[in-house]
Structure 1
Amino acid sequence: MTLLTAQVATLVTDIDDVNIEFSSGASTVLKVVIATILFGIALDIKVSDFTAVLRRPFPILVGIVAQFLLLPALTLLLTIALDVRGSIALGMILVACCPPGNVSNILTHRARGDVALSVSMTAISNLLTIVMLPVNFAFWAGLSPAGDDLLRDVDLDPVKTFLEIALVIGLPFIAGVTINRLWPRVAHRAHRVVGPVSFVLLLLIIVLAFIGNWDIFTNYITLVLLAVFVQHLMALGLGYGVARGTGLPSKSRKAMTFEVSVRNTGLGLVLVFAYFDGLGGMALVAAWWGLYDILAGLVVAELWKRRTADVPEQVAV
């Protein structure tokens, strides 16, 4: 074994014992920021976005299956294929179980995709996440050969997790939709401010967390780079593949691609610090994914915008 191989092996062994430092005050701020982001998303969501399921059930059903079933299942297989350590495997599975963020709507718009479908899928997915995330994560993480031992040491009470997610996602989401319903002008103006500001604050928190744990970041980030890259590429391919395979038109394929590949990893970070004490591999995967999928998504959207002719299409049924 070479010296380099020995060093890498040491790092791989240690990452499951590493914890990212994050004070209780910073954790509370993170929860408030995530709640504000969801509130900002909901301010732009109308009741009609939910009833769109009745008008276009098929593409939304395809998206739900891809996000809540196929993505976690394929992620589990990917963690086994890459033979990652337990904390990294749990981080990848947690990311796969997180809902999409409003960035998916922005990327769909930039790529000239079906924004209406994207918004409806974001609304439905975030609503379902309140119940599905704790159940989904517990199920797929429990099947992980690498992460199962770590999961046994964690008090991941589904009821407590549900209440945590309901507080961070459910209440602000319902509040935003209600305000949009009762005072649409106020909601429209507030959305233009709340969304960008909360998003910038989230990026700032992630960057400060990296700076505050710089030694951990520099020592272990190489272990998650490949995992995040491959998982994100898989998510992009899954979104596009299921849309194309089910016969959805080009604009709907764009929406589906970003809905499946863009994850609200800020919520994932909240859960990592709330239940896993900032477990190293999980926190690094969630934090790095949050930065990487925005950059990669912008590149994909720009390429799609340039290479795909914006021609009239039939609306998916």
Structure 2
Amino acid sequence: MSSPNSTPDADRSAAPAAEPQQSADRSAYIATLGFPLLVIIGGLVGFIGHGSIAGHSDWVNPLLGVIMFGMGLTLRPADFVLVVKRPLPVLIGVVAHYVIMPLAALLVVWVLRLPDAVAAGVILVGCAPSGTASNVVAFLARGDLALSVAMSSISTLIAPVMTPLLTLWLAGEYMPLEAGDMALDIVKVVLLPVLVGLLAHIFVPRIVEKILPVLPWVSVLAIAVVVALVISGAHDKILDAGISVLAAVVLHNLLGLGFGFGAGKLFRQPEPACRTMAVEVGMQNSGLAAGLAAQYMEPLSALPGAIFSVWHNVSGALFAMLCRAVDNRRARSN
């Protein structure tokens, strides 16, 4: 789209580039909206076929490693330059992420009076790093994409420390937890695969560039299988707790989006940065949370992460559509 002050010549020169951009937007929308559908299918398979699937819970960590390796392949050293050039928005965003979502989880748990197992799962989701689809949603919302990549990368790299410490502190009263073992697992299934993927992008970039287009679909298929395994493990209690967990997930996510945007405004960040902060705060790596909950908590504790994996892609796509509608209205008014 041309700016309001562009010249006719500039408009004509920009026109050929508009079609590829619109095509990329459409592809990103399809991917973002297709993700929840595949994850829902995974959940249904896990629920219906729980008898034969529940015995394969040992697949969860390897699948999470595949997802994070895929994330690492999308990163480049240049993605971290923003941390040096513009440290303030990155710092604001990462701090907001690890403050707002854990506190929002506590608020949701208190307001809805959730059972201990569900409460612990909601809190674990709140203590997880940024979601793997957050960069796509930030792009769709016309946010600051460089900031989005920097925030999600940093929040993921510090997750081995932040996630277990915050979870132990906030969820420890609901059930006993082994923070040390959880931290070691996060190093193995998050940090190491991300670093290996990053190194692969540095040393064999041509190979990586060829497989990048399929990476989102590989990741979502892996998340769908994780969700199937989680749902199969919690099958017996889903019908009793499903509505309350859905309400908790929706409220938690909306609080993250709202307060994330508000944090950007509070520190007088530009509109694109505020949108990015909303997305990076509100979208969690819920697949990781579901996997950790399945391993270190009760089966029911993994349910919030499984449902969050579906919902936050839907809400992210709706948020992006709202942002674009606002931009279009402003353009017409000018």
Bin for the TM-score computed over the shorter chain: 0.7 to 0.9
Q: Displacement of 1:203 after TM fit? A: 1.9
The structure-2 alpha-carbon separation of the partners of 1:219 and 1:129, relative to structure 1 and needing over 3 Å to count, comes to same
Cα RMSD for the two superposed structures: 2.4
The structure-2 alpha-carbon separation of the partners of 1:188 and 1:101, relative to structure 1 and needing over 3 Å to count, comes to farther
Residue 276 (1) aligns with residue 306 (2): no
User: Aligned match of 1:38 in 46, 54, 68?
Assistant: 68
Give the match's secondary structure for 2:306.
Answer: helix
Contact 1:41/1:191, CA 8 A, preserved across alignment? no
User: Aligned match of 2:319 in 294, 300, 317?
Assistant: 300
Deviations 1:13-32 (A, max 9, x none): xxxxxxx9896863232222
User: Aligned match of 2:254 in 224, 233, 237?
Assistant: 233
What is aligned with 1:17? none
Cα distance in 1 between the residues matched to 2:238 and 2:274: 35
Give the match's secondary structure for 1:178.
Answer: helix
How many residues are paired up? 282
Residue 165 (1) aligns with residue 186 (2): yes
Contact 1:36/1:194, CA 8 A, preserved across alignment? no
What is aligned with 1:290? 309
Deviations 1:147-178 (A, max 9, x none): x1x42xx3x32221111111100110110111
The structure-2 alpha-carbon separation of the partners of 1:232 and 1:21, relative to structure 1 and needing over 3 Å to count, comes to farther
**Any stretches of 5+ residues in structure 2 without a counterpart?**
1-49
Give the match's secondary structure for 2:269.
Answer: coil
What is aligned with 2:207? 186
Residue 79 (1) aligns with residue 114 (2): no
Flag the structure with higher helix content. Answer: 2
Identical residues among aligned pairs (%): 30
Of 76-85 and 232-241, the range deviating more from structure 2: 76-85
Cα distance in 1 between the residues matched to 2:141 and 2:219: 23
Deviations 1:32-62 (A, max 9, x none): 2211111111111111222321111111111
Deviations 1:63-118 (A, max 9, x none): 11111123212321332232222122111110010111221001111111111110
Q: Displacement of 1:231 after TM fit? A: 1.0
What's the TM-score once normalised by structure 1's chain length? Answer: 0.82
Report the residue type matching 1:183 in the other structure.
V
The structure-2 alpha-carbon separation of the partners of 1:56 and 1:177, relative to structure 1 and needing over 3 Å to count, comes to same
Cα distance in 2 between the residues matched to 1:244 and 1:93: 26
User: Aligned match of 2:96 in 66, 70, 78?
Assistant: 66
User: Aligned match of 1:217 in 238, 252, 260?
Assistant: 238
Report the residue type matching 1:301 in the other structure.
A
Cα distance in 1 between the residues matched to 2:178 and 2:143: 39
What is aligned with 1:315? none
Contact 1:43/1:190, CA 8 A, preserved across alignment? no
The structure-2 alpha-carbon separation of the partners of 1:208 and 1:132, relative to structure 1 and needing over 3 Å to count, comes to closer
Contact 1:113/1:254, CA 8 A, preserved across alignment? yes
The structure-2 alpha-carbon separation of the partners of 1:21 and 1:227, relative to structure 1 and needing over 3 Å to count, comes to farther
Residue 245 (1) aligns with residue 275 (2): no
Cα distance in 2 between the residues matched to 1:158 and 1:209: 21
Report the residue type matching 2:306 in the other structure.
A
Cα distance in 2 between the residues matched to 1:302 and 1:207: 29
Report the residue type matching 1:123 in the other structure.
S
What is aligned with 1:50? 80
Cα distance in 2 between the residues matched to 1:206 and 1:240: 29
Of 166-175 and 76-85, the range deviating more from structure 2: 76-85
Contact 1:71/1:238, CA 8 A, preserved across alignment? no
Q: Displacement of 1:215 after TM fit? A: 5.1
